[in-house]
Every structure is written in C-alpha cells, then in structure tokens.
A = this chain, B = another copy of it.
Amino acid sequence: MQRIAVADRRASLLAAALRVIARDGVARASTRVIAAEAGMPTASFHYVFASHAAMLEELVAGILEAQAAAVAEAVGEAGTLHEFAGGALQGWLDRAAAEPAVEIALQDVVAFSRASPDLHHLAATVYEHYAASVAGFVAAAEERFGVRWTVPSADVARFVLVLTDGVAARWLVDRDEAAARRALALGTRALLALVQEQRP
C-alpha cells in the first residue's frame, strides 16, 4: 500500500521480468508472475505499462543500450587492430558471461516477438540497432588504423554479427565459455584476414 515513484516501480518490474524470463522463458513471464516476482499486486503492472508487449519493448531497448555501452568501453584503448577486433568480440562475451540472464532474455524475447503481431517489428529493430552499432565499430577501425577491407564494410559488419549470434546461441545451451572464446578467436583471425591494407 505504500506509495512508490512510478519510475522505481518501472525499474523493479523490468528487473523482475528479466529474472523471470531468464529463469522460466518469455512464454511463462506473465503479468501476474512478473508482478509477484517484484512483490507487487498484479494490477500495478498495468499502472506502469500500457501492456505486456510494451513492457517487453522497454526491456529490450534497455538491454541494447547497456550492451552497446559495455562493448564500447571494452575497446576504448586498443592500440592495434588485432586488439581492437579481438577486444570488441571478447569484451562482448565478457559481458554476456558476467550476466547470462540478460543475453538469455534478449534471445528469448527476440525469438518470441517474431511471430507476435504486436511485437513483429522488435526483431527487425534489434538487428538494425546491432547493425548500426557494429557498423560504427567497423568505421572506427577504418579511421583509427587506416584499414581497407577486401569486401564491403557492410559485409564485414554482417560477419561480425554472424560470429556473435552463432557463439551466443551455442554458449547459451552448453555454457562452455572456453570453447566460446576459442571460436571468437578464430572469428577474429577470419576478420583480420579480410584486411587488404593497413596504415599505422
């Protein structure tokens, strides 16, 4: 019955939703279950969010923002292209490994949204966000290290996402972090092999 600022409720509910989705999957993350996980009555959910779908959208937006920031930091002071590319990929995995729930929830929600009329755009939005984010890194690499590629930049960016998506999917199932790191190392090698010329 105590009054809580709407922003705090929102944060609590989003955190609770993340936990529930990671534990039981989106399909079981109902408004009742999420509200209970947050220690609130069910009706509070709809006082904060317009709908269940709207909440999922906010969840995903928040995750993407935090993820991009984490990777950008991991790569801040890379001195060589190899450090830059490897640092970005391994930094991404560091974050995923540190908070698996976030990665699980993201994949789950994206998969779930594909077939949902209300959330159909979410999956596409996520990839647009990713593509833009990775394209930014590729551009940064070109600028900082004077790299030229043997294939279009867009293909380089796409290949990076193939690596992260593929590694994530497998890692979420077997949780073999060492193997995931080896796969990313091979990916880094493949990426560097796409360099045509480079200036220090």
A170 x B27 contact (CB < 8 A): no
Q: A9-17, A41-49, A71-79, A110-118: which lies at the B interface?
A: A110-118
A90-127 interface (Cβ within 8 A of B) = 104, 107-108, 111-112, 114-116, 123-124, 127
User: What's the least CB distance linking A128 to chain B, in Å?
Assistant: 9
Interface status of A133 (Cβ within 8 A of chain B): no
Nearest residue, chain B, Cβ from A164: B166
Closest 4 pairs between A and B when the two form their complex, measured CB to CB: A25-B115, A166-B166, A162-B166, A190-B190
CA distance A24 to B112 in the complex (A): 10
Q: A32-40, A61-69, A135-143, A180-188: which lies at the B interface?
A: A180-188
User: What's the least CB distance linking A161 to chain B, in Å?
Assistant: 6
Q: A52-60, A80-88, A171-179: which lies at the B interface?
A: A171-179
A127 x B190 contact (CB < 8 A): no
User: What's the least CB distance linking A178 to chain B, in Å?
Assistant: 11
CA distance A27 to B123 in the complex (A): 16
